[in-house]
Structure 1
Amino acid sequence: MLPSNSSKRYLRPSVFWSIRQPFPNGLGVALVVFALAFPLAIWSALSYGGIVESIFLPTPTAVLQAGRTMLFEDNLLFDIWSSCYRVLLGFGLAAAIGVPMGIAMGTFQSMERLFSPIVGTVRYMPVAAFVPLIILWAGLGELARILIIFLGIVFYNAIMVADTVKFIPNELFSVAYTLGANRVDVLSRVILPGIVPGIIDTLRVNVAGAWNFLVISELIAADNGLGFRVVQAQRFLQTDKVLFAIAVIGLIGLLTDFSFKLLSHWLTPWAESSRY
């Protein structure tokens, strides 16, 4: 039995816990600063206070000094470029194939029946298990590393884009056909404009996975790259260099995420109010 209007308990208005309401910029900046400062404070307390040994958790100062050494003595900038190049090619190829495949799967039942068994099966297989086969197929060069990133992302792109297409209401298709549209018109004027925000979100989410697969790819006879630096520093217990290389990957990921947000704001300004 539903409660009567007189017995309902109304919540007080709240800025902090408002649901999809405008949020004060000043409070938003304060929350961002707190989110970054709090873990840094815990890290500083544990490391500078000697609670955790430096081999397990070096101080922020030691990490910055290690980063300076890597930048000016170990040619870290070249490693950054090499990793970005591999991610760009592998992820770009996965987008070029996965996005059209997802559109086809979400639009045509025939394409869903054709690709779903492959996509649904292979995307659960760990990419690391394919490394011996990839070495046999592509050797130990750049092609093998790019192929690992590609295989790790392409099927996720396809399935997420297909789900985005399926969220378009069928009523829109009925209206389009009633107004005289054909299948090409529905695809180009209803489906494609409607899924652009979802495609950008899909790429924005999956590019993080590309950086995760980068470390696996750079285990294959690589002599440069951020993943290679992480593994090399780990072998010599250089935790400060490991943390700095990880922080660089995180910073690149943050800039990439911000770039996708700018792209979304530029291409789909009508979707901003419902997404952010």
Structure 2
Amino acid sequence: MNGSMGRRVLLGVVPWLGVIALWYAVRLSGLVNVALIPAPHQVAAKFVDLLLHDNLLFDIYASTRRVLLGVVLGIAAAVPVGFLLGWYRAARIFADPMINFFRALPPIALIPLVIVYFGVDELAKLVILFYASFFSGVIVMYEGVSQITPLYIRVSKTLGANEFEIFRKVIIPLTVPHILTALRVALGVAWATLVASELIAAQSGLGAMIQNASTYFLLDIIYVGIICIGCIALIMDLILRKISARLLVWQERAIS
């Protein structure tokens, strides 16, 4: 067991060591001006400095709160809409073009309109993150629900289940994996949209920190912000995968 765990840890660490080695190699190769690529140890030192003497923890908290709130609200709205589109063919035919139209619009393109209609406060940032999470969640939900085989429904009816029992004991369990997948996708999209949402007069947050650092060409701070976003998104995804594995353990038992 310990040997297996050690191999997993080693396999997880090796790619990151490779990235750091490549980072140093590019910096030392002379192909790029070293002033444009801060060394990994310099970025690490700046991270510690911002953590101890600046507002990095508050920026992390502000961005994480915005992302979580936007994703939770977006998925809460996307699940019933995606279910209806996936379960009812007529609804899918009716709404599919409009859903795909809005899904293709980048959130950053909507910022001028969001400022006009919602101002520059937290609500505007939340609207951008909600928009990104909702449409990505709807697509995942209705694609997944539309592929649920009707065989389970027919078997349940044959065994005497009524409509409520079919919905509670068959439809909901079959829908849970798609809800969790929609949540994972929405989290990724929301973190990718974070910088765009914090373009709206943000005074705190990792996106705002990156924007402010770019104004003064503080590349080490930009690297810190980017790495923090990636690390937090990775941690949240790992947590969600663990939760999914526990909630969907019945699938493995059913397959085995």
TM-score (norm 1): 0.84
Structure 2 residue corresponding to 1:106, chosen from 59, 83, 86? 86
C-alpha distance in 1, partners of 2:85/2:159? 25
In structure 2, what is the equivalent of residue 200 of structure 1? Answer: 180
What do residues 136-184 of structure 1 show as CA deviations (whole Å, max 9, x unaligned)? 1110100000000111120110121111112221211211222233433
Are the equivalent residues in 2 in contact too, given 1:230–1:245 (CA < 8 A)?
yes
In structure 1, what is the equivalent of residue 110 of structure 2? Answer: 130
What do residues 167-224 of structure 1 show as CA deviations (whole Å, max 9, x unaligned)? 2212112112222334333322212101212221221122011011110010011111
Q: How does 1:1-276 map to 2 (within 5 A)?
A: 25-48=5-28, 51-271=31-251
Let me know the Cα RMSD of the aligned residues.
Answer: 2.1
What amino acid maps onto 1:116 in structure 2? D
Task: Tell me the percent identity.
Answer: 35
What amino acid maps onto 1:38 in structure 2? G
Secondary structure of the corresponding residue to residue 111 of structure 2 = helix
Are the equivalent residues in 2 in contact too, given 1:265–1:272 (CA < 8 A)?
no
What amino acid maps onto 1:83 in structure 2? S
Are the equivalent residues in 2 in contact too, given 1:55–1:237 (CA < 8 A)?
no
What runs of 5+ residues in structure 2 fail to find an aligned partner? none
Secondary structure of the corresponding residue to residue 71 of structure 1 = helix
What amino acid maps onto 1:144 in structure 2? A
Secondary structure of the corresponding residue to residue 35 of structure 2 = coil
Offset of 1:25 from its aligned partner? 4.8
TM-score (norm 2): 0.90
What runs of 5+ residues in structure 1 fail to find an aligned partner? 1-23
**Max Rg structure:** 1
C-alpha distance in 1, partners of 2:218/2:35? 7
